[in-house]
Amino acid sequence: MLIKDLINKLEELYSSYDEEYKSVMGEPTIEIDVFRQVDDKNHYFQYGGFSHDIKIEKSDDGVYDILSAFGHSYPREDKK
């Protein structure tokens, strides 16, 4: 997706919230699903919740910007 197309989609989404919603719920957010690596013979990752901290990382070759949501980029919030 072109960055400008993503910006347009986000602007459309933002404009769909009226002032009444914002006054009650606050500024709208967007979340990203996070997947954590697990030791399991049936699968490698499992759903780990969602986060409002969206990370944009480079592909391994450094060419592409990628919205990713794998646990290594999102430390567990329940660990202290």
Q: What is the pLDDT of residues 53-79, one digit of tens each?
A: 888 989 999 999 999 877 666 666 554
Q: Dihedrals φ, ψ of 28, to 5°?
A: -65, 150
Q: What is the pLDDT of residues 18-28, one digit of tens each?
A: 999 999 999 99
**What is the pTM (predicted TM-score) of this model?**
0.70
Per the prediction, the chain carries an average pLDDT of 87
Tokens (6 digits) for 4: 């400008």
Residues 38 and 44: their CA atoms lie apart, in Å, by 6
